[in-house]
Chains A and B, each alone.
Chain A
Amino acid sequence: MESTNPPVLQLSHISKTYTNIMANDNISLKLNRGHIHALLGENGAGKSTLVKIIYGLVKPDNGKMIFNEKNYAPENPQAARLAGVGMVFQHFSLFDSLTVAQNILLGLDKAYSYDSLVDQIVQMSKNYGLALNPKMTVGDLSAGERQRIEIVRCLLQNPKLLIMDEPTSVLTPTEIEQLFNTLKQLSLQGTSILYISHKLEEVRRLCNDGTILRDGKVIKNFLPSETTSSEIAELMVGKKIKPTVKQNSHSKEKILDIKNLSVKSQTPFGTNLKNISLEINQGEILGIGGVAGSGQDELLLVLTGETKVEKNTILYKGMDIGHLNPQERRELGLLTAPEERLGHAAAPEMSLIENCLITAKKEKNLVERGWIKFGKTAQFANDIMKTFDVRADNSANLAKTLSGGNLQKFLIGRELSQNPEAIVVNQPTWGVDASAAQFIRQALLDLVSRGTAAIIISQDLDEILEISDRFTALVNGSISTPKVTSKLTVSEIGLMLSTHSTN
């Protein structure tokens, strides 16, 4: 239905070029008053650049914006906020060691007295069902609470347009429901919302209008309620995506056994692991869900061997490995792929060839009497690139020059090519575009069908449900009893994800 009111924001022919990438190519867009408008696209499609232009963080090379029937070209975010544009970032722009109220104060341009601000925050929390305690330190809060801070911060400035960048990627299903209620209430009151997401079902449920970007161009404007998810997905990627194929393996021998594991976090504002017990068998994928900061990083460090643990809490094929370092564990066949690609899984300033040496020097015999066999290593790197469809012109390229998706394919490929007996992957497809994500998931499934045991830690619930055999949730450092994924209902999953969080 075409709105008769003038649009709240109109973009005409916006273009922005970085050194040699056309991030935004002649984008025109119309946002209606009081509508929730979805902005969809793969990583690198130009969504972030576009919203940064609207929020005054990036200046366009060309094009014109009209906001509220006035010409609009914000110098900086302050100017954008003053005009009535608010933004909630995907990676929250918050300060861990400061309180909720201080964080909100920092994002406001008007001078507020601290006490009246505290009152307003409490009032705002009530009006929109955004439970918040202004005196808490942000570092101790959950992702959902942090997001509420960002939203309250925006709402205090009475925005006419609210930009939400991937708001649900860190939330539990219950928190998502709460968020949607808030957003619907806001749109009824006349606030327009630009909603960036790649979760298509959500978009279809929540949004009035939608726009799909690909390679910096507008591919299509669509009505979410009248378009199917697979149609949207095809438009985003530009080709059909094959669904993953799952084969069951038959052997069911226990590989990894974690017993009553409790570990104190090594980082400030980290999560302590509490009494975790898990078993993983050959040929199965155990999916561990949970929102960010529930202890995923700590659990991974324990499994890689970067954090040492007490005796007899981690058994690998019946052998105590709690004291072994990462290299010793790799030699036994237990491999890991951490979430952080640059800096943890790979050395950014080293070539792909050198990065192969980091985890595969023993397993692939890449070093002989202290000498690196570069020819063999390069061959290994090239094989990975071929098998795992890594798009880089040369294996001598530095790791940091690859796109997120390509580097992830390379790193997963590096581990999978060593034929591990057990593998632990944290966030296998984080920040990876849909087709690469599909490829990685299929590669993991293929590996497991040959008898490998896998633990997949992921915040992407859909992903875990798609590939895991058994599912468990990590909440506040504790884990629930794993259940067979195919027999789980949505409400059971929601319950598992929030059980302990209310304590």
Chain B
Amino acid sequence: MDFASIDPTTVIYNLMIAATPILFAALGELVVEKSGVLNLGVEGMMIMGAICGFAISVETGSSYVGFIAAALGGAILSIIFAIMTQYFLANQVASGLALTLFGLGLAALLGHSYTGQVPPEVSKLSVPVLSSIPIFGKMFFNHDFFVYCSLALVFFIWFFLAKTRLGLIVQAVGENHDSAHAIGYNVTKIRFFSILFGGALAGLGGGYLSLIRVPQWTEGMTAGAGWIALAIVVFSTWQPWRLILGAYIFGGITILQLNLQAIGVNIDVALLSMTPYVVTIVALVLMSVNRSKKSIGAPGSLGKSFIKVL
């Protein structure tokens, strides 16, 4: 065992890459949940994004086209969920679970012939000047475009929810759909587009997994990342900035346990692999010790179907 062989610079660099797919998916789900919809299909939408992004970028040779396809793949899958829950008022939990199972199956089918192929490489986007700072430059300013993009999105989504009228309307719909309807907002439409947005971001997260983080296609490669994204939304108490914290803690533990495995720490590999998930569960339990929802901040109508009363 040689702890000195773990290079903190590399750990933090890899941590940001490991956290990015989850951050994308969690950002999307945050907006969906802010509008009052609980979509448990994140895992399914992510893996659809992973295969769509992978397949299209292999076929076109362009990873950026692949990322667009990834977002579209996730969004298209989410339409199924949106129609079921918003127009046919199906139970959101059951529909979300179904979406995950369906997405995993469909992705496996679509991806059959892509196993073992190599996607086009995504170039690094080194920030001029900043990336030449010793240590910090390598850690933070020598990433690909999408790492910066995910962080910028955190800002934009925070700004959208906190400062814009449309963002306020989305929150109002999620807080109390009956009131929103009575004032004259179209609850179904607002939720429909929120779900689509969430699907697109989950797809983008999936695309990042198969095109940059791994990068290759294997069946079931999301390996629970969608569920972690869902947990992080709760962990963040529905506040965009805290998503970074959640995603990076999770990413950090993932990378750290890989490093520990590599240097041969005398702990069972299975135990190490499960640490990120155990930490997530522990964090969620600690969060819900205080039962008052006011302090947790869940949207008031979260998970409830909106039934128009005449």
Which residues of chain A have a CB within 8 Å of any CB of chain B?
Answer: 18, 49, 56-58, 76-78, 81, 89, 91-98, 102, 105-107, 111, 139, 266-269
Contact = CB atoms under 8 A, between A and B. Distances in A.
A93 B183 contact: yes
B165 A93 contact: no
Range for the number of chain B residues in contact with chain A: 20 to 34
A78 B294 CA distance: 31
25 contacts: A18-B310, A77-B183, A81-B184, A89-B182, A92-B179, A93-B176, A93-B178, A93-B182, A95-B171, A95-B172, A95-B179, A95-B180, A96-B175, A96-B176, A96-B300, A97-B171, A97-B294, A97-B297, A105-B165, A106-B172, A107-B183, A139-B294, A266-B291, A267-B293, A268-B294
B310 A106 contact: no
B168 interface: yes
Contacts of B171: 95, 97-98
Given A95-B175, A105-B165, 20 more contacts: A49-B310, A56-B184, A57-B182, A57-B184, A58-B310, A77-B182, A77-B183, A78-B184, A81-B184, A92-B179, A93-B182, A93-B183, A95-B171, A97-B294, A98-B175, A107-B183, A111-B165, A266-B291, A268-B294, A269-B294
A266 B168 CA distance: 27
A61 to B, nearest CB: 13
A94 B293 CA distance: 18
B113 interface: no
Interface in B116-172: 165, 168-169, 171-172
Contacts of B266: none
Interface in B181-217: 182-185
A107 B183 CA distance: 6
Given A93-B182, A139-B294, A102 B168 contact: yes
B5 interface: no
A106 B190 CA distance: 14
A268 B179 contact: no
A420 to B, nearest CB: 32
B310 to A, nearest CB: 6
A208 B292 CA distance: 47
A20 to B, nearest CB: 13
Ranked 6 nearest A-B pairs via Cβ: A77-B184, A93-B179, A93-B182, A268-B293, A268-B294, A95-B175
A266 B291 CA distance: 7
A109 to B, nearest CB: 9
A97 B175 contact: yes
Contacts of B291: 266
Contact of A268 (B172, B182, B292): B292
A323 to B, nearest CB: 20
A65 B259 CA distance: 75
Given A96-B175, A97-B297, A266-B291, A106 B182 contact: no
A366 to B, nearest CB: 32
Contact of A94 (B165, B176, B299): B176
Contacts of A89: 182
Contacts of A105: 165, 168
A271 to B, nearest CB: 12
A58 B168 CA distance: 25
Contacts of B183: 77, 93, 106-107
Contacts of B184: 56-57, 76-78, 81
A349 B297 CA distance: 31
Contacts of B172: 95, 98, 106
Contacts of B176: 93-96
A78 B171 CA distance: 19
A91 B182 CA distance: 10
Contacts of B168: 98, 102, 105-106
Contacts of A92: 179
Contacts of A269: 294
A105 to B, nearest CB: 7
Contacts of B299: 97
Contacts of B293: 267-268
A78 B179 CA distance: 14
- Residue from A18, A94, A106, A107 having most chain B Cβ neighbours under 10 A: A106
Nearest to A52: B310
A162 to B, nearest CB: 15
A25 B300 CA distance: 37
B291 to A, nearest CB: 7
A96 B182 CA distance: 15
B68 to A, nearest CB: 33
Contacts of B292: 268
A57 B182 CA distance: 8
Contacts of B294: 97, 139, 268-269
Contacts of A81: 184
A76 B180 CA distance: 13
A139 B168 CA distance: 17
A266 B171 CA distance: 23
Interface string B289-310: 0011110010110000000001
Given A57-B182, A95-B179, A268-B294, A106 B169 contact: yes
Contacts of A139: 294
A44 to B, nearest CB: 13
A49 to B, nearest CB: 8
Nearest to A92: B179
A81 B185 CA distance: 13
Nearest to B173: A95
B107 to A, nearest CB: 37
A134 to B, nearest CB: 14
Contacts of A106: 168-169, 172, 180, 183, 185
Which of A94, A97, A107 has the most C-beta atoms of chain B within 10 angstroms of its own C-beta?
Answer: A97
Nearest to A79: B184
A94 B184 CA distance: 12
Nearest to A107: B183
Contacts of A94: 176, 179
Given A78-B184, A107-B183, A111-B165, A97 B300 contact: yes
